[in-house]
Structure 1
Amino acid sequence: MSATFNNQSRSLADWLSYLENQHHSAIDLGLERVAKVATQAKLTHLVAKVITVAGTNGKGSTCALLEQLLLAEGYRVGVYSSPHIVDYRERVRINGQLPDEHAFCESFAAIEQLRCDTSLSYFEFGTLAAIWMFSQQELDYVILEVGLGGRLDATNIVEPDVSVVTTVALDHVDWLGSDLQQIGREKAGIFRAGGKVVIGDDNIVESVLQCAKQLQCQQLAAGHQYTIEDTDAGWSYQGPKLAYQHLPYPKLPRANAATVLAIVEQLELSPSPEVVARVIANWQLAGRLQTLCNEPLVVLDVAHNPQSASYLASQLPVIAKGRKIVAVCAMLSDKDVSASLAPLMDKISYWHISGLNHPRGDDGSALAECLQHQQNVQRHASVKQAYAAAFNSLDNQTMLIVFGSFFTVAETLELSPASLSRE
């Protein structure tokens, strides 16, 4: 770091600007550099028990529910997740709270001193800083959400007590490839020989199960070692040691809730049925079927690939309750736009589409091409313009869903209060 960059006097915004320009590539998969710094900083083994969560979809909601359940049981919990939606501080939670800016600046300064001449990407630097922050706290559990893939992700430098794969689907094909079996192996790269693993999809690709078998892992897999079942009075979870009946149906994917209960089994915990039911009933996460306002009804969701879009499509009729559905959509250029929109085509009555102001953002052309045979489509220059037009069209018989990317949701949330009301 140059002499003009004073570690002690820089703001969080200064640090983030520095991190963005410090490395040659925003995404640079590989563990050699980050492991070198982590070893120097003694961050590869934490005193707290570590749960590392990988998967194409469901990572964030799984981490959030596990966190909320552990907190309800009185444990001290740290969570690292990404990306953030509005505030960088969203990436770290300690006992359910966002650390203040000073805590982030202090952790960045610590990693800057420890890394010497080792170049780190924005994500690697932030990951190490979060882990350093956790190491300074007396925590019982640390939950790490994998950023991209698993095997080569920076979170994989920490030895996990439980490794989790939620789902495997096509996404990030530029880095992980378009072969589902290969993507599965990359995500299963967080497994350890003889370690405890949870596999949350009862239709998981075979390569994930093969990795667990080859490593002789202690496995709890959906549809194998644990099952879920629908009943008139709710749904049930049945594992080797734990069973829960009459659980409330959550707004977020029930499979992810079952994954959390399997993680709880692997941690050898046994929360009461009353606590489990209450936490699941209150389960929520920013940007995941998030209600922005009720009159008119506006919902935000970060669905940005075929699998997450399919789940959104399944939930929209339940949320809409007979209303017509208007959509605002903007996506990144490296996403499978056609396959992501397909499950929503017969759910949306009117589309407002735009580009995204991001280096990987599509300008709206891909969306326009996919929707060229739809009659009710309006293209806008920005998410802000698309949102304003859509919001002003709403009445009591219509609702608005905003989706397509974390950045789409972020741009919507960052609009001023005045722009969230009728003009």
Structure 2
Amino acid sequence: MNYSETIAYLYEKLPVFHRVGAAALKPGLGNIIALCEALGSPQTRFKSIHVGGTNGKGSTSHLLAAILQSAGYNVGLHTSPHLKSYTERFKINGQPCDERVVVDFVEKHKRLIERIEPSFFEISVALAFDYFAQQNVDIAIIEVGLGGRLDSTNIISPLLSVITNISFDHTDLLGDTLEKIAFEKAGIIKAHTPVVISETQPETAPVFIQKADELNAPIYFADQQYHVKTLSVEKGKRVLTIESKKEASLCTLALDLVGNYQLKNVAGVWQSVELLKEQGFDISIDAVKSGMAHCTTLTSFRGRWQVLSESPMVVADVAHNYGGLSETINQIKRHDFDQLHFILGFVKDKDVKGVLGLFPTNAHFYFCSFDSPRALTSDSLVYIADEVGLKGGGYRDVNEALRAALQNASSNDFIYVGGSTFVVSELSEI
């Protein structure tokens, strides 16, 4: 098989969450354990950091990878979903794996795949573990796919666990309260292994503390230790100061992920680096500064407050739940513009009406769909939006919608593209 045939085989043979939703999930860790045992337990052959949470886990994973790369380590990075190519899920030092890695893995283990019948995500995790072990990475950053407790990545024994923001998402699977969602996320906490909580939230902190106490795991609430403040945003960089709650200012640095929500992630990343240094990693302040300043280049990171144009301002972002979009809209309000344009698409298993209630009614809206069975049609989205007072037209896809918005916008307008990772992934500019 060639690469295209291999991907077609995986999509056809295995249930894929990003295409069919909850029906793709295979409860429990049995399949991933069986797969990895057959592969010789590759997840035990490299050091790792496990990163979970609702919002911020992708950015945190990429920032940690960039810092460790800058410190001279050979770094694996497994994240999901991908934007353009499946190979983006398997990076070493920021470079996606060669297509041949995917082809060879599937060809070699086809009988195993058909015997175990894993999900698409389970086989992706197994491939990542096998690839990182084969390439002898010094350390791998492993991002949780969904939840934590029963996520396929949760068979590693990491040096460190990191849990970012907790918000409402996948409530049909993870629970309908922040406490229930936090319980699932807390499943990545391991015995005697430090865990960093990036953001203290009153509903979730007791859940994490109880789980850490049960497992005798040292727990660190990063935002209680460090204060991160923006000094300026200029030339595609956010200039920050990081202050210790116990000491004076620690340092000033530049961050090339300019979304305001990144401030919450930076505290968790800083705390994580301090704990890695205590475990023997040689990470200088220069490596931290370089990794944060050049994260997008070092890790090929895309789709987080990504500026596609400045006149008019066009920003694409993959925020797709209530918490993430709340932060995004707050940041948009801090900008100066004449008119605001939103290009939006959503999956149909979200609380779309609730999320749309966040958006200002005086903006111009362009509603689009995308290539997935989970996509909400643009006609349905126009109808739902109208119920909450948002007026706009329907478009076949995001690129058609963007062309329309650019025709209508003046040079001092602001155009936002998002609502779903799939909308951003289909942008031709990304």
The TM-score bracket by the shorter chain reads 0.7 to 0.9
Residue in 2 that maps onto 1:271:
283
Deviation readout 1:218-240 (Å, 9 max, x if unpaired)? 1121344x221437684214389
Residue in 1 that maps onto 2:318:
302
CA RMSD of aligned residues (A): 2.5
CA contact (8 A) 2:69 2:93 kept: yes
Which structure 1 residue ranges, 5 or more long, are not aligned?
1-9, 416-423
- How far apart, CA to CA, are the structure 1 residues paired with 2:136 and 2:338? 49
SS in 1 for 2:64: helix
Quick one: structure 1 residues 116 and 349, their matched pair in 2 at CA, closer, same or farther if it must change by over 3 Å?
closer
1:115 shift after superposition: 4.7
Percent identity of equivalent pairs: 31
- How far apart, CA to CA, are the structure 2 residues paired with 1:64 and 1:370? 34
- How far apart, CA to CA, are the structure 2 residues paired with 1:39 and 1:244? 45
Q: Does 1:261 align with 2:276?
A: no
1:305 shift after superposition: 0.5
Residue in 2 that maps onto 1:128:
126
Residue in 1 that maps onto 2:13:
22
1:197 shift after superposition: 0.9
Name the aligned partner's letter for residue 229 of structure 2.
D
Which structure 2 residue ranges, 5 or more long, are not aligned?
16-22, 232-238
Residue in 1 that maps onto 2:353:
338
- How far apart, CA to CA, are the structure 2 residues paired with 1:91 and 1:241? 39
1:55 shift after superposition: 0.8
Residue in 2 that maps onto 1:198:
196
Quick one: structure 1 residues 322 and 385, their matched pair in 2 at CA, closer, same or farther if it must change by over 3 Å?
closer
SS in 1 for 2:82: coil
Q: Does 1:360 align with 2:374?
A: yes
CA contact (8 A) 2:198 2:265 kept: yes
Matches within 5 A, 1:52-201: 52-115=50-113, 117-201=115-199
CA contact (8 A) 1:108 1:125 kept: no
CA contact (8 A) 2:240 2:254 kept: yes
Quick one: structure 1 residues 385 and 372, their matched pair in 2 at CA, closer, same or farther if it must change by over 3 Å?
farther
Matches within 5 A, 1:35-54: 35-43=33-41, 45-54=43-52
- How far apart, CA to CA, are the structure 2 residues paired with 1:130 and 1:241? 40
Residue in 1 that maps onto 2:18:
none
Residue in 2 that maps onto 1:251:
258
1:44 shift after superposition: 5.5
Pick which of 92-101 and 72-81 moved more: 92-101
1:241 shift after superposition: 11
Match of 1:396 among 385, 390, 411: 411
Matches within 5 A, 1:313-324: 313-318=329-334, 320-324=335-339
Matches within 5 A, 1:381-420: 381-413=396-428
Residue in 1 that maps onto 2:364:
350
Name the aligned partner's letter for residue 371 of structure 2.
N
- How far apart, CA to CA, are the structure 2 residues paired with 1:222 and 1:392? 45
Name the aligned partner's letter for residue 77 of structure 1.
V
Name the aligned partner's letter for residue 276 of structure 1.
V
- How far apart, CA to CA, are the structure 2 residues paired with 1:57 and 1:267? 23
Residue in 2 that maps onto 1:291:
307
SS in 1 for 2:118: coil
Residue in 1 that maps onto 2:217:
217
CA contact (8 A) 1:227 1:239 kept: yes
4+ residue runs of structure 1 moved beyond 6 angstroms?
Answer: 239-243
| Higher RCO (Cα < 8 Å, 6 or more apart) | 2
Pick which of 51-60 and 249-258 moved more: 249-258
CA contact (8 A) 1:403 1:409 kept: yes
Deviation readout 1:335-394 (Å, 9 max, x if unpaired)? 122332333326x62111123332111123245323445464222343343222112212
1:189 shift after superposition: 0.8
SS in 2 for 1:216: coil
Residue in 2 that maps onto 1:228:
227
CA contact (8 A) 2:70 2:290 kept: no
Quick one: structure 1 residues 50 and 239, their matched pair in 2 at CA, closer, same or farther if it must change by over 3 Å?
farther
Residue in 2 that maps onto 1:238:
244
CA contact (8 A) 2:223 2:268 kept: no
- How far apart, CA to CA, are the structure 2 residues paired with 1:243 and 1:102? 48
Name the aligned partner's letter for residue 329 of structure 1.
L
SS in 1 for 2:342: strand
CA contact (8 A) 2:367 2:381 kept: no
Pick which of 65-74 and 363-372 moved more: 363-372
Pick which of 226-235 and 21-30 moved more: 226-235
Quick one: structure 1 residues 411 and 332, their matched pair in 2 at CA, closer, same or farther if it must change by over 3 Å?
same
1:171 shift after superposition: 0.5
SS in 1 for 2:220: strand
Work out the number of aligned pairs and report it: 403
Residue in 2 that maps onto 1:4:
none
Name the aligned partner's letter for residue 310 of structure 2.
N
Name the aligned partner's letter for residue 235 of structure 1.
T
Quick one: structure 1 residues 414 and 248, their matched pair in 2 at CA, closer, same or farther if it must change by over 3 Å?
closer
